Homo-oligomer: A and B are copies of this chain.
């Protein structure tokens, strides 16, 4: 303890987000500390020219206005790869095609919402016709433009990007050449729309079914991972989008930088709640990696961390040599 670092009284009067981050450093305990540590991991990661940064998040966040910040991360070069869940496609497409999401409440009569045709995501509402039908239309339209038997999921999303407006994460992904992967792509309106397209084609004389092959995406991820000098990850939330990042990272010797932003707890042995240290035992995170985790709702922590990083880093110059295509 000879090099101990003191906990110091923070004072009111912070005005900028940068000041706020510095207050968390002074506070020095509990999750304020972890949040500060996360800011340091991110600052290191984004100043390392050799790292491929994987951004992972769960779909529920895309139903909120955090969507704009997630898109901004792609546009500003703060992500080299995106891995997310099927619902991200659903919400992103719905919003891109005019779907309106509004502020609702957890404490509602959901039977009444059903009768009014309103879907609820926590305390966010969206009308039924602003959701599924918009996704189905975009997917069917995109598939009908395809002239081959098989596409990968990322490939399909980039084709679909042409139908979306500039608010879209998927469109930003294509425009910025940041591939987006959905390992569980069948699990939502997006996947069901692929299925129904093919069912319709099957029923039609001359119909042409298109196989959407997620193993093609896996090959792409494998190539990117192997082509990278170092790996870093920002993992927001748990589930398949979290696991897929760390799963693949093990084949490159583990992540060099990682930040987990989550509400899930560790004690239940869940993958979602597992800390970076568990991943070390698997070789998914390097023992010497810079890592941090913050237990808090990402709608609170992401704006703090990434507005801070944006002010520090600005637009990041990416290393586009890691992709199996030209950017």
Interface residues of A (CB under 8 A from B): 1, 4-17, 19-20, 23-24, 26-33, 35, 58-61, 63-69, 71-73, 76, 85, 87, 95, 100-103, 106-108, 110-111, 113-114, 116, 118-125, 167, 183-184, 186-188, 191-192, 194-195, 198-199, 211-215, 217-219, 222, 237-240, 243-244, 247, 263-274, 277-283, 287, 295-301, 303-304, 306-307, 310-311
Contact = CB atoms under 8 A, between A and B. Distances in A.
Contact of A278 (B110, B265, B287): B110
Copies of this chain in its oligomeric complex: 4
Given A186-B215, A303-B23, A280 B1 contact: no
B240 A215 contact: no
Given A32-B66, A187-B184, A269 B60 contact: yes
A215 B188 contact: no
Nearest to A3: B102
A268 B7 contact: no
A222 B198 CA distance: 13
Contact of A311 (B15, B194, B307): B15
A92 to B, nearest CB: 11
A297 B299 contact: no
